[in-house]
Chains A and B, each alone.
Chain A
Amino acid sequence: GQQLNQSPQSMFIQEGEDVSMNCTSSSIFNTWLWYKQDPGEGPVLLIALYKAGELTSNGRLTAQFGITRKDSFLNISASIPSDVGIYFCAGQLRNTDKLIFGTGTRLQVFP
């Protein structure tokens, strides 16, 4: 199935560090969403982006909708142990109601 390119694939960081991950595509998206998934659970929505250039924050999380509408990034500041998990981007293509997901970024935070 179709998936977005997400990088990095995994990250191992120390508590307190900042984290950045991004998602790219060759297609244009109307909406970008960022999710976090814990083992054995469904993805949980973190941030939604609705228009090109939009920068949105949710606590320590900041995400941006790329100006070309083909990419998005997510930053996590001052990481804490509970940030551990897999982060997925998801985009909604034009003229469709379905979400396409990225391949995921696995985040490990060490004390």
Chain B
Amino acid sequence: GAVVSQHPSRVICKSGTSVKIECRSLDFQATTMFWYRQFPKKSLMLMATSNEGSKATYEQGVEKDKFLINHASLTLSTLTVTSAHPEDSSFYICSARDLGAHEYTQYFGPGTRLTVL
């Protein structure tokens, strides 16, 4: 089946630094990628929808200047958490919609655990 990878799988950083998370579709092209955040024992919350070659669409309450999203190619989207603070510590998950498959098809990455000290 289709595979979505994320890198890094976990990262620990100091408060005030920026962290970049990569999301790649390994064997398919994805015009649309999604970024989610999940707090412990909570459901996934959509942060933004990223379309290749255009600006991301952010959900209400998500600061676009803090969570920078770049979707430069059909197989790569990046999420940069700028000036990270401890409250940004969370599990970040991306997903990708397969361009060539049924519109319902959406594959999730393994997630990135961010800890801000």
Same complex origin of A and B: no
Interface residues of chain B, those whose CB is within 8 Å of chain A, are: none
